[in-house]
Amino acid sequence: MNDRAYNVLFLCTGNSARSILAEAIMNHLGQGRFRAFSAGSFPAGQVNPYTLKLLDLQGISTEGLRSKSWDEFAAPDSPLLDFVFTVCDKAANEVCPLWPGQPMSAHWGVEDPAAVAGDDAQKMLAFRKALRELENRIKIFMSLPIRSLDKIKLQSKLDEIGQTVLERNA
């Protein structure tokens, strides 16, 4: 059996909030089984400060996090991807590059916390909600017996995870 880590790419439009949160969470929880990356179709060029603040508060490393284009992962010398997940509606409807190795993909849409208006507390609440949704989905994904599922069953599970909704009081 191949014991290499699974490479997972999280995509969003701006690559400043949701996809960065997902990358950081998966790398934090992945225990060497998963290596996460993130990118955007139109990267913002910087990570949202609320993203960095929340990750710091959660004790999750922010080292190396940066807003970048998905073109970096379509290059010949980029990591071979096993999974690609879109985490915002805009990225799900865009034409994605062809990924070498034909990774499995699914849409795991999460509301954009960066679009929330209000004071610091309201904005941080939106970022916490996005983090909880992503963390919940990532934990479900990481618990799957990936190697023992056939591709059709695995694709079904990936799609189901995208439909997972947190309980309101969770």
C-alpha dist (Å) from residue 169 to 25, 115, 165: 21, 22, 12
Q: Give residue 34's pLDDT band: very low, low, confident or very high (50, 70, 90).
A: very high
Residues designated catalytic: 12, 88, 96
Tokens of 37: 């990356």
Domains of the chain: 6-162 (3.40.50.2300)
109-125 pLDDT, tens digit per residue, is 899 999 999 999 999 99
Higher pLDDT, 48 or 164: 48
Q: Is 16 helix (H, G, I), strand (E, B) or coil?
A: coil
Q: Give residue 32's pLDDT band: very low, low, confident or very high (50, 70, 90).
A: confident
pLDDT of residue 93: 56
68-111 pLDDT, tens digit per residue, is 999 998 888 889 999 999 998 655 555 556 566 679 999 898 99
Q: Is the pTM of this model over 0.75?
A: yes
